């Protein structure tokens, strides 16, 4: 499931290199054209839950996960990474994330290898909280404000829930290059109001072969807008290029280093980095950090102190996996430090064959 796979390492051809360079060049062109538009829509994106990292392994390495392969959980990151190799039949992932402010974050992904036809993966994620006290009296007694009230509900509490359901298709189009696409439906609801949108994710992963070095690119959340009343907001469009490699690899231990350059539409350029140490393909120790994001502030002004622009700090985690009969079972855990809020804990159960 998290085993060391080369996907035909060493079989590089000029076509491989041409395709890979073309994909990366396209993303670089988009990234260089994005900043002005990103500033215009800063802070206005809807469906913010799509920015929250899914899966304890990816979260523990600082979300530097664009180049991961053979993992159903990649449906939430890079759909090309859901492509299962010839020795994988299926992969399933279930995650729970206790997010800040008591928000519950659940996710499920299941991928099945159709052999020469590619891999199909179903993904579901929900994010929300229930039984929020409803203060419905404000403004009701003021004649001026009564005409503005649109809340016709009377219950003492209400719920907030985000939901995304996706279907991914991925395939190795040549030996070391996989491409993937995800189509998803997104719904946000609060109290009795809801809004829906649809989106697509596109991605590529190319395995160069040397040191199991992979390079990747993805475009996430390209789709329609979420509309509440007369206010509509774009989805959190994100561009990312990433790489990972194994500078040290023996039968007893391996070290993986991963780096992502990520450009959200509504934020500045971010660099994510992480390290994973594998011992005997049983125990995994991980750590990660988000440059230009974690523990950063706006620098302040002459009249005020600096203000934190994010509450997130570093991430660490660990995992174990073991073969039970012919099924590979794994459990991963991730811890993310937070300022102001409680720290975040995420756990993932994975199994595959």
Residue 9 has pLDDT above 50, yes or no: no
Residue 145 has pLDDT above 80, yes or no: no
pTM metric for this prediction: 0.83
Residue 69 has pLDDT above 50, yes or no: yes
Residue 273 or residue 101, greater confidence: 273
Residue 312 has pLDDT above 90, yes or no: no
CA distance 162 to 194: 9
Average pLDDT of the chain to the nearest whole number: 85
Provide the token pair at 103. Answer: 């928000």
CA distance 91 to 86: 13
Backbone angles phi, psi at 237, to 5 degrees: -60, 130
Q: List the one residue out of 285, 330, 278, 342 whose CA is nearest residue 95.
A: 330
Q: List the one residue out of 243, 206, 200, 198 whose CA is nearest residue 219.
A: 200
User: Per-residue pLDDT averaged across 90-112, rounded?
Assistant: 95
Whether 180 contacts 216, CB under 8 Å: no
At 138, the pLDDT band (50, 70, 90 cuts) reads: low
CA distance 308 to 231: 27
Whether 256 contacts 279, CB under 8 Å: no
Q: In order of start, what are the domains of the chain with their CATH numbers?
A: 14-140+162-352 (2.40.160.60)
Backbone angles phi, psi at 317, to 5 degrees: -175, 180
């Amino acid at each position: 499931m998290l085993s060391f796979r080369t996907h035909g390492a060493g079989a590089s051809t000029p076509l491989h290199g041409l395709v890979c360079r073309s994909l990366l060049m396209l993303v670089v062109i988009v990234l260089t054209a994005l900043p002005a538009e990103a500033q215009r829509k800063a802070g206005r994106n809807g469906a913010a839950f799509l920015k929250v990292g899914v899966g304890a392994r990816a979260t523990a390495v600082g979300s530097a996960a664009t180049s991961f392969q053979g993992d159903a959980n990649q449906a939430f990151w890079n759909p090309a990474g859901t492509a299962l190799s010839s020795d994988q039949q299926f992969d399933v992932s279930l995650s729970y994330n206790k997010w800040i402010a008591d928000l519950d974050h659940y996710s499920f992904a299941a991928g099945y290898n159709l052999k020469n036809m590619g891999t199909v993966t179903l993904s579901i994620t929900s994010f929300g909280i229930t039984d929020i006290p409803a203060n419905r009296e404000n403004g009701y007694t003021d004649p001026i404000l009564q005409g503005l009230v649109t809340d016709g509900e009377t219950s003492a509490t209400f719920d907030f829930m985000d939901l995304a359901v996706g279907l991914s298709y991925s395939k190795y189009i040549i030996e070391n290059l996989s491409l993937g696409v995800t189509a998803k439906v997104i719904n946000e609801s609060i109290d009795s109001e809801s809004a829906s949108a649809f989106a697509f994710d596109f991605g590529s992963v190319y395995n160069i072969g040397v040191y199991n070095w992979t390079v990747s690119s993805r475009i996430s959340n390209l789709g329609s807008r979420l509309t509440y009343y007369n206010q509509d907001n774009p989805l959190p469009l994100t561009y990312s290029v990433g790489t990972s490699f194994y500078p040290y690899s023996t039968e007893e231990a391996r070290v993986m280093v991963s780096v992502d350059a990520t450009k959200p539409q509504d934020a500045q350029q971010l660099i994510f980095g992480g390290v994973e140490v594998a011992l005997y393909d049983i125990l995994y120790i991980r750590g990660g950090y988000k440059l230009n994001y974690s523990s950063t502030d706006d620098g302040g002004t002459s009249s005020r102190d600096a203000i934190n622009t994010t509450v997130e700090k570093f991430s660490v985690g660990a995992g174990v996996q073991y073969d039970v009969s012919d099924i590979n079972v794994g459990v991963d855990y991730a811890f993310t430090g937070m300022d102001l809020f409680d720290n975040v804990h995420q756990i993932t159960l994975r199994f595959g064959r």
